């Protein structure tokens, strides 16, 4: 098993690669282009197409968050994902929630959860596919996948979206289940 030191270059490289893979899973189009945000706390940042800014920062606090927010506003990026290495202040967490930013601790992205053979295949259903599932099943009775679930955070499904989860057990027949996104209790 690889050792992923929190502040090592291998950890940073894995988190950066997996942040890009997360955007692939979400089917966000465009090329990844590295950009510079004028703040010493920002380790590296890139944009995907004209919609998404991803910033990897040492710590999230007023100064670093302000730099990211100003860059996102100036360049008109509607989606911002902040990945932090060490800590995130409670005020910064609140400010990011208010702004609609997503936030991940770098360790969450070092190992990509969808890579494990123990994790079933997840598919976030389109509106048409979800409507078909709702016709077949009572969606209010479907088991939940919570907004705080690690895989759910990778896909960024919205409340009441539906996932198809296919588990494969060797030579046995695959088992298909459905889960509906519910708000995580705090």
* Same-domain check for residues 168 and 155: yes
Domain's final residue, options 81, 111, 141: 111
- Residue 3: inside a domain, yes or no? no
Structure tokens at 145: 């996948």
This model's pTM is above 0.85: no
Q: Where are the alpha helices (DSSP H) in the chain?
A: 9-25, 62-75, 90-99, 106-110, 127-136, 150-155
Looking at the fold, whether 31 and 102 belong to one and the same domain comes out as: yes
CATH of the domain at 54: 3.40.1340.10
Q: Are residue 22 and residue 90 in the same domain, yes or no?
A: yes
Domain end, chosen from 88, 111, 134, is at 111
- Report CA-CA distances (Å) from 89 to 38, 61, 62, 86, 94: 20, 6, 8, 10, 9
Shared-domain flag, residues 103 and 125: no
Based on the domain organization, do 94 and 153 belong to the same domain? no
Q: Does residue 1 fall inside a structural domain?
A: no
Number of domains in the chain: 2
Query: Domain of 171?
Result: 114-182
What DSSP string describes 23-71? HHHTT--S-EEEE--S-TTEEEEEEETTTEEEEEEEEESHHHHHHHHHH
User: pLDDT tens, position by position, for the chain (186 residues)?
Assistant: 444 445 577 888 888 999 999 999 999 999 999 999 988 889 889 999 889 999 999 999 999 999 999 999 999 999 999 999 999 999 999 999 999 999 999 988 888 888 888 889 999 999 999 999 999 998 889 999 999 999 999 999 999 999 999 998 777 788 999 999 999 876
Instruction: Identify the domain boundary among 59, 87, 111.
Output: 111
């Amino acid at each position: 098993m690889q050792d992923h030191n929190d502040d090592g270059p291998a950890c940073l490289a894995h988190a950066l690669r997996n942040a890009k893979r997360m955007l692939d899973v979400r089917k966000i189009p465009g090329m990844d282009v590295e950009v510079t945000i004028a703040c010493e706390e920002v380790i590296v940042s890139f944009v995907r197409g004209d919609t998404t800014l991803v910033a990897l920062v040492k710590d999230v606090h007023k100064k670093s968050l302000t730099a990211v927010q100003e860059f996102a506003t100036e360049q008109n990026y509607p989606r911002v994902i902040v990945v932090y290495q060490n800590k995130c202040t409670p005020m910064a967490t609140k400010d990011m929630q208010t702004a609609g930013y997503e936030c991940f601790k770098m360790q969450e992205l070092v190992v990509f959860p969808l890579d494990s053979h123990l994790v079933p295949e997840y598919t976030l259903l389109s509106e048409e596919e979800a409507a078909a599932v709702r016709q077949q099943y009572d969606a209010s009775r479907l088991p939940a996948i919570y907004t705080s679930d690690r895989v759910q955070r990778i896909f960024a499904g919205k409340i009441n979206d539906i996932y198809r989860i296919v588990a494969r057990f060797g030579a046995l027949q695959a088992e298909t289940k459905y889960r509906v996104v519910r708000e995580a209790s705090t």
